[in-house]
Amino acid sequence: MGKHDPSQKEKIADDLPSVLLLRQPFVFKVYERQFSEKFRFLKPWESSLPLHQFLSTHAASVQAAFFSAGRPITTDILQNLPELRFIMTSSAGLDHIDLNECKRRGIKVANAGSIFSEDVADTAVGLLIDVLRRVSAANWFVKAGLWQQKGDYPLGHKLGGKRVGVVGMGSIGLNVAKKLNTFGCIISYNSRKKKPHVTFPFYPNIQELAANCEIIIICCALMDQTRHMIDKNVMMALGKEGIIVNVARGAIINEKELVQCLLKGEIAGAGLDVFENEPNVPEELFHLDNVVMTPHNAVMTEESMNNLYEIVIGNLEAFFSNKPLIFEVVQDSGEHFGSKFLEIESWFQRCSSAFRYRDLVYDKKQ
């Protein structure tokens, strides 16, 4: 970009379509300059007005909003935005948005679809290897100079041959299952319903799945039905050799019961990217070598942020030009909301910068 006369720049920004933010999605921090060339972002945190008043002030001009996970989008907020017709969220998860209220108000919702699935699956595999093979703890052992002092390091456990239960067989769960299958793991799964195209054994009951596995990997959406689904009973069924990996949402596990089971050795370890009350993490777990924790960063790669940027720009442009969205959240016949990849081909045709993503999705070289 060349230099602009500031008044000219202001004028250009005023002509751009308005998009409301509530707080900064991480991708916005990374690509703010590029985003701001195409849209005028309303940033309540830069205003001296309280949020409620800020929203009222801009109510008439806000047709689109760009939200991140973590901040609930309640009826209260939506009531303040009568002209809102489109919510783009930077997450794959939708648990922070009142989807029924959006539907009632005729607000379209789009999420990141499945663009994070590979990175999230990689994190799940990485956390699992880390817990089984004690990688983080061994790294600390070496870096603290304990190898010279203490010699032998405790034995880990082999990944191959382990029975792994995948909870949630969407794009992330399927990706985890395929990867761990290559490691010689024996996969089974639990999901809202049996997936016709998935050949791994299906357990409709989560406790039964846990009883038949040494490892469970949580990849499902957080909904009323899945909140605290992984409780003490499930952990007891998993057993003392059992390992839990969670790359979905913290509240799918009853965290208090998880902490107790870990402290008492009722399960063998955990790899956790998500927590019930982020960024607060149960401090009782801080000293446990068999618990590996990451700060909800399973999707946080440069490559994913670039892909997300493309999707957000593409969807906002589509909305403002009355074209079909790339991803859109739709309700299936069972009243379940899910993301639908609507227009990726036409999006590729109109959006040259999407080629990088296209490569990743379609043209895997091996």
Q: 233, 297, 331, 349: which one contacts a second copy (CB under 8 A)?
A: 297
Q: Is 68 in the site for a second copy (CB under 8 A)?
A: no
Q: Which two three-digit tokens encode residue 47?
A: 């205003």
CB of 12 to a second copy, least distance (A): 29
Q: From the candidates 134, 276, 296, 343, which is the catalytic residue?
A: 296
Compute the distance between CA of residue 100 and CA of residue 82 in angstroms, rounded to an integer.
Answer: 16
Q: Is 185 in the site for a second copy (CB under 8 A)?
A: yes
Cβ proximity to a second copy: between 295 and 324 the closer is 295
- Verify whether residue 278 is a known catalytic residue: yes
Q: Which residues of 197-210 are buried (b: 16+ CB within 10 A; e: fewer)?
A: ebebeebeebbebb
Q: Does residue 279 have a cis bond before it (omega within 30 degrees)?
A: yes
Q: 15, 46, 224, 302: which one contacts a second copy (CB under 8 A)?
A: 302
Cβ proximity to a second copy: between 102 and 312 the closer is 312
Cβ proximity to a second copy: between 58 and 134 the closer is 134
Q: Which of residues 94-133 bind a second copy (CB under 8 A)?
A: 118-119, 122-123, 125-127, 129-130, 132-133
Angle at CA of residue 336, ends 326 and 83, nearest 5°: 55
Angle at CA of residue 352, ends 347 and 354, nearest 5°: 65
In order of 89, 139, 319, 320, the CA distances from 340 in angstroms are 14, 41, 16, 19
Compute the distance between CA of residue 169 and CA of residue 180 in angstroms, rounded to an integer.
Answer: 14
Compute the distance between CA of residue 50 and CA of residue 36 in angstroms, rounded to an integer.
Answer: 23
Contact stretch for a second copy (CB under 8 A) within 37-45, 66-74, 79-87, 176-184: 176-184
- Verify whether residue 296 is a known catalytic residue: yes
Q: Which of 289, 267, 294 is nearest to 278 (CA)?
A: 294
Binding site for a second copy (CB under 8 A): 26, 29-30, 118-119, 122-123, 125-127, 129-130, 132-136, 138-143, 145, 147-148, 151-153, 155-161, 178-179, 181-187, 278-281, 283, 285-287, 292-295, 297, 300-305, 359-360, 364-366
Active-site residues, by number, are: 249, 278, 296
